[in-house]
């Protein structure tokens, strides 16, 4: 069965709901517009749905001028203007510090109610400030406000295999879990389950990527993105079947090699380099 690209998802605001799309330009730091916005606390440190899970129910929509409309089931919609490039403040995402521009106070007040803590919304104008882990990336690779790498690829067959394992386990009532739990940038069909562990270089349409690292999964995958309810799956099952180095794994991190290329749902996918990966993905 040929490999095909079946989903493209952009996440305009880190930890908020995705925007499924039929096509997207691939920038050096990820899909165009992906994770250029982020919430921070009063200390300037990122706020995510790991701790503030209702953020997953915030739906951003892109405005023609670069601003956003934010929606939530329990709040009136709000329009957020695209902030000017200056002035900026220093904010921290994991171990990295970058300069970002503050959105208006109205957006901060709206998001603070959703998050349940004081929150401010910031925009990253210059996405060249931040670099992936040099152990898995080149010196000139960049990443926006994603956790660590520009894109995440997942396999439909691996999700099916995982859901079969959940159904056979002690928490079958928590399955099946949808692909949304894993927040992929791109979803690929036609591969066998867990085949992506061994991918090292691939082509999607006219875009080329390095598959540099497996994705270690966190508590966010256990949260229903529609309700905010949190359970044990899929982490509990991944821990029994996909655990190495003390963490669980699902999906592969990608770095683009052809910035400016466009990918489209339905594109063919070609694996240009692969290795045997009997004990999991690179990590």
DSSP summary character for residue 189:
E
Residue 281: what pLDDT?
83
Give CA–CA dist 267/29, Å, rounded: 21
Please name the fold of domain 3-30+132-274: M1 Pyruvate Kinase; Domain 3 (2.40.33)
Sequence ranges of the chain with CATH classification 2.40.33.20: 3-30+132-274
For range 15-25, the mean pLDDT: 98
Whole-model pTM over 0.85: yes
Residue 280: what pLDDT?
78
Has residue 17 got a pLDDT over 90?
A: yes
For range 18-30, the mean pLDDT: 97
Please choose, from the candidates 146, 136, 155, 270, the residue with its C-alpha nearest in 3D space to the C-alpha of residue 212. Answer: 136
Which residues, in sequence order, are bridge partners of residue 216? 249
Residue 15: what pLDDT?
97
Residue 41: what pLDDT?
97
Please choose, from the candidates 266, 182, 271, 254, the residue with its C-alpha nearest in 3D space to the C-alpha of residue 28. Answer: 254
pLDDT tens per residue, range 225-258: 999 999 999 999 999 999 999 999 999 999 999 9
Give CA–CA dist 57/78, Å, rounded: 14
């Amino acid at each position: 069965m040929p490999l095909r690209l079946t989903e493209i998802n952009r996440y305009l605001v880190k930890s908020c709901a995705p925007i499924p799309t039929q096509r997207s330009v691939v920038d050096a730091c990820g899909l165009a517009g992906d994770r250029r916005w982020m919430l921070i606390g009063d200390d300037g440190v990122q706020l995510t749905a790991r701790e503030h899970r209702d953020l997953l129910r915030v739906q951003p929509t892109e405005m023609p001028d670069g601003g956003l409309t934010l929606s939530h089931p329990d709040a009136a919609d709000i329009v957020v203007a695209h902030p000017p490039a200056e002035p900026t403040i220093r904010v921290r995402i994991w171990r990295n510090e970058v300069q970002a521009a503050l959105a208006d106070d109205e957006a901060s007040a709206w998001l603070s109610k959703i998050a349940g803590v004081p929150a401010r919304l910031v925009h990253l104008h210059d996405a060249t400030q931040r670099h992936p882990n040099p152990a898995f990336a080149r010196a000139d690779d960049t990443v926006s406000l994603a956790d660590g790498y520009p894109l995440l690829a997942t396999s439909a067959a691996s999700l099916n295999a995982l859901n079969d394992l959940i159904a056979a386990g002690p928490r079958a009532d928590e399955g099946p879990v949808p692909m949304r739990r894993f927040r992929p940038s791109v979803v690929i069909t036609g591969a066998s389950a867990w085949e992506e562990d061994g991918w090292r270089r691939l082509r999607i349409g006219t875009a080329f990527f390095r598959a540099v690292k497996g994705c270690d999964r966190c508590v966010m995958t256990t949260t229903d993105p529609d309700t905010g309810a949190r359970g044990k799956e899929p982490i509990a099952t991944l821990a029994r079947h996909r655990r190495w180095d003390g963490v669980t794994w699902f999906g592969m991190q990608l770095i683009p090699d052809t910035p400016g290329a466009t990918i489209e749902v339905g594109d063919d996918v070609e694996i240009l380099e692969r290795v045997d990966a009997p004990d999991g993905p690179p990590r």
